[in-house]
Structure 1
Amino acid sequence: MRPGARPLRRTSGGARPVDFGAFVRARSRAGDLVVQPRMGFSDPATMRAGLAATRAADAATVGTITLDSYTRVGELDSVESALRAGADLNGYPIVSYDRAVTGQVLAGIRDEAFPVQVRHGSAVPGDIFAALRRTLINATEGGPVSYCLPYGRTPLDESVRNWARCTEDFAQLRESGVEPHLETFGGCMLGQLCPPSQLVAISVLEALFFCGHGIRSVSLSYAQQTHPEQDREAVAALRRLCGELLPTPNWHVVIYAYMGVYPTTDEGAYLLLDQATRLAVDSGSERLIVKTVAESRRIPTVAENIAALESAARTARTAPPGGPASTEADSQTYLEARALIEGVLELAPDIGHALVLAFRQGALDIPYCLHPDNHGRARSYIDGDGRLRWAGIGRLPLAGLAGRARGRDVTSSGLIADLSYVQRAFDRAAMESGRAPNREGADIAPVGHRSLSPGE
């Protein structure tokens, strides 16, 4: 056992894992919104306790093991030093622990009623995927673009090669009778201020990349943004494009509670989570990744994670039944996302090479992303109604579609104000309501439909 790890009972590691995607889709057909935490602890006993508490929550749940930041960037010597010193990491160091330790964490908890997903954040994930295969953990997430551009300086073409190799190796789990599942992270680029059409496009492109390298069970992410109606339009576009383009029927959509600057008040945090839950229900999405009242301050405790899971489950149960929106009409988000996807796919027959060329030429361009391989000409802003708009499209293939992108100047003060827009809106809404958050099913109107100037 590695230094710093408390002993666990030695076991074989539990039952053979089920198809994560099929499990989520089955729960959705039964009327449940599957809710999931973003939970990770370096101590194996604490990690096991977190999984057990997630399983026991009053909600339809799946488990999460989130990895620490050293493991994500391959700084394994730093992991070893921290464990020897008994220091806590900000996640679970799956590469540095022996296979038996992780088996003990999962034993008796992971089974056909409770699948577990590993979440990380690496553009160089070879060691991580090797650890997953050793322990038969068959569900994880990421992508060649979304785990490269925002988080480091790994060249994009290197990340694409890494993810192609790891995806193909991961797909070989099927030879052991285990169905591998990959979730795109592309619907969350930078977490904020990326217009919804590009979030949708990158999520679909990453799913196509996974399928092209042997994966048959996928989920596609979309991160809650700044306006509920715009978000519903975006998820409808995402679902339509999945039906049109994905070569597998085993797919589902996962909504992420807002990934940017979070409300500082407990009430504001719950209001924002309520709105994310309603987005998931209204759009017919099958899974929701929650955030907690502690997001603006520190790493959440197990208890705070469980409170968020159960709050979201209550909101989902009391919300009016939803379902995928009609796709008969071409929405603005659908048209833009389709143009972005087609603009990439026409660059090269190999989708990985096409992604590299797209960023090199500016056919994909993430606003405010400082990675050297990002073109850096696209800009966005939040308008007076709270919608994300293009301030400039650079060389994105959106001419004639993004009619509102008219070279609007974005100042540093305006950008800072936009980055805190959601936090301010929901903290203010919580104070104005004078009520406790919706933890018992009370009907609280969604925030974001009324005017809030980005400069406020």
Structure 2
Amino acid sequence: MVAVDLAQFVRNASARHELVVQPRMGMSDPAEMASGLGALEQVRAPAVGTITLDSYTRVGDHHGARYALERGRPLNGYPLVNHGADTTRHVVSEVEDLRPVQIRHGSAAPNAIFRTMAEAGLTATEGGPVSYCLPYGRTPLAESIPAWAEATAGLGEDCRSQGLRAHLETFGGCLLGQLCPPSMLVAMSVLEGLFFVQQGIDSLSLSYAQQTDPVQDLEALGALRILADEMLPRHVEWHLVLYTYMGVYPQSIAGSAQLLGLSAHVAVRGGVERLIVKTSAEAWRIPTIEENIEALRHASRCARAARRESTLPWGHQVDCEEVLAEARTLVESVLCLSDDIGLALRSAFSTGLLDVPFCLHRDNHGAAQAFVDTDGRLKWASLGNLPLARVAVARGGRSIRARALMSMLRFVADRHDRTALSGRSALSH
């Protein structure tokens, strides 16, 4: 059997006006992982399968993963390299002619992961040389960027040799997952997409993570689509993917259901083709297969409702010019540094032209900061060396103190727990 092409699967669903939904599940036991993939049949909506890898594999500690497996210790994901291509082929064998399966991993150096997945006949994965480096460890960009260039080019070649097409999803639209103004997320998603194209990839998805205000998210999605249309070569096929909020999650089941439902409304009203969902268990533990399935069902129900009616505007009805102007400035400032996008990214971070708020990685300047304003929108608090001189910095460059930061980190979770408790709709604020 030949694996289903992710881009074609999404394209077909979009033609039917259906939102593709996707879990983030990953189990260390091959049989349980296969059961999780098979359970997607219960969703009765277009769903992409996911194999999320474990923390040992993420950092290349395959000895540690093997040690844990030999002693029967559970891992927090699927150890792809240790299980190998043959076992993985068996895991996906029951679903590979029904739906695409994407490998999600979090690695700053994904060579072994990409080789193994290609050998298993899997073509879809995600991440990026910056977005899977800065948030997740201490690997220098000087190592992550060339590692990603080599791994991405190799994946494309390995897939083409089998008559298949590799698909890369940027993680640049997520970065730390929270408290990053939309223009930086849009810019990083586009830059990582261009980086993948430079390594020979012609099938992409560009990510954006839900933030603190749904209308601002619609503006960001509009800006992302415009920039992608302007800057990606015409031979590249691409679509947008939205992540349900990745920061501190509501602790109540009702609050988390509200937040997931809101992300489905943002996805539909913003013209997104695919949604990565989270479950009601996110605040406490790794979710079960059943909890993942229920989250997918809930997201699909909310997406259908959003097509009929929603208090959110459609994407074409919002003004995305502010986000678009900032994101375009960031992207163009980076592209001016070198024709090699990998080198341009390194240079941009070394000079602070790119700077991720609240990121502690030593290759990140850490001078730019953001805050949530009284309307719930994310704004720049200070710019550092970002090339956004015309942006009105509402806080006058003052630093964000610890108490304010903690309040902002909990802003979305607390809001949805409160609205759920009061019985109000998440769309009413």
Normalised by the length of structure 2, the TM-score is: 0.96
> Cα distance, 1:75 vs. partner?
1.0
Matched with 1:10 is: none
Verify the 8 A CA contact 1:153 1:371 in the aligned structure 2.
yes
Verify the 8 A CA contact 2:130 2:141 in the aligned structure 1.
yes
* Structure 1 letter corresponding to 2:171: F
Matched with 1:162 is: 147
* Structure 2 letter corresponding to 1:254: V
Q: Matched residue pairs, number?
A: 424
Match of 1:275 among 233, 258, 262: 262
> Cα distance, 1:402 vs. partner?
4.3
Whole-Å Cα distance in 2 between the matches of residues 56 and 110 of structure 1?
Answer: 16
Verify the 8 A CA contact 1:239 1:324 in the aligned structure 2.
no
Matched with 2:302 is: 315
Whole-Å Cα distance in 1 between the matches of residues 328 and 319 of structure 2?
Answer: 14
Match of 2:81 among 78, 89, 95: 95
> Cα distance, 1:30 vs. partner?
1.1
Matched with 1:120 is: 105
Q: Does 1:60 align with 2:46?
A: yes
* Residue correspondence of structure 1 range 4-403 to structure 2 within 5 A: 15-111=1-97, 113-172=98-157, 173-247=159-233, 248-320=235-307, 325-326=315-316, 331-403=321-393
After superposition, give the CA deviation of every residue in 1:49-102 in whole Å (9 maximum; x if it has no partner).
000001332221010000001100011111011101111100000000132211
Normalised by the length of structure 1, the TM-score is: 0.90
Match of 1:429 among 397, 419, 427: 419
Whole-Å Cα distance in 2 between the matches of residues 419 and 405 of structure 1?
Answer: 18
After superposition, give the CA deviation of every residue in 1:242-300 in whole Å (9 maximum; x if it has no partner).
11011144100000000000000000000000100000000110000000000000000
Whole-Å Cα distance in 2 between the matches of residues 348 and 328 of structure 1?
Answer: 34
Q: Which has the higher helix share?
A: 2
Partner SS for 2:106: coil
Which of 75-84 and 325-334 deviates more?
325-334
Verify the 8 A CA contact 1:184 1:221 in the aligned structure 2.
yes
* Structure 2 letter corresponding to 1:41: M
Matched with 1:446 is: 427
Whole-Å Cα distance in 1 between the matches of residues 392 and 23 of structure 2?
Answer: 35
* Structure 1 letter corresponding to 2:278: K
Verify the 8 A CA contact 2:221 2:270 in the aligned structure 1.
yes
Unaligned ranges ≥5, structure 2: none
After superposition, give the CA deviation of every residue in 1:324-370 in whole Å (9 maximum; x if it has no partner).
73399661100100000011000111100000000000000001111
- The sequence identity of aligned pairs, in percent, is 52
Provide closer, same or farther for how the CA distance between residues 52 and 34 of structure 1 changes in structure 2, counting only shifts above 3 A. Answer: same
Whole-Å Cα distance in 2 between the matches of residues 197 and 93 of structure 1?
Answer: 35
Superposition RMSD on alpha carbons, in Å?
1.6
Partner SS for 1:377: coil
Verify the 8 A CA contact 1:204 1:220 in the aligned structure 2.
yes
Provide closer, same or farther for how the CA distance between residues 40 and 198 of structure 1 changes in structure 2, counting only shifts above 3 A. Answer: same
> Cα distance, 1:152 vs. partner?
0.5
Verify the 8 A CA contact 1:237 1:331 in the aligned structure 2.
yes
Partner SS for 1:320: helix
Verify the 8 A CA contact 1:365 1:376 in the aligned structure 2.
yes
> Cα distance, 1:405 vs. partner?
5.7
Provide closer, same or farther for how the CA distance between residues 408 and 303 of structure 1 changes in structure 2, counting only shifts above 3 A. Answer: same
Whole-Å Cα distance in 1 between the matches of residues 332 and 221 of structure 2?
Answer: 19
After superposition, give the CA deviation of every residue in 1:400-454 in whole Å (9 maximum; x if it has no partner).
13453621331111001100111100001110117xxxxxxxxx3416x4xxxxx
* Structure 2 letter corresponding to 1:277: A
Partner SS for 2:173: helix
Verify the 8 A CA contact 2:47 2:99 in the aligned structure 1.
yes
Verify the 8 A CA contact 1:336 1:402 in the aligned structure 2.
no
After superposition, give the CA deviation of every residue in 1:160-203 in whole Å (9 maximum; x if it has no partner).
00000011001111131101000000011101011100000000
Provide closer, same or farther for how the CA distance between residues 321 and 333 of structure 1 changes in structure 2, counting only shifts above 3 A. Answer: farther
Which of 340-349 and 322-331 deviates more?
322-331
Whole-Å Cα distance in 1 between the matches of residues 165 and 6 of structure 2?
Answer: 8
* Structure 1 letter corresponding to 2:103: V
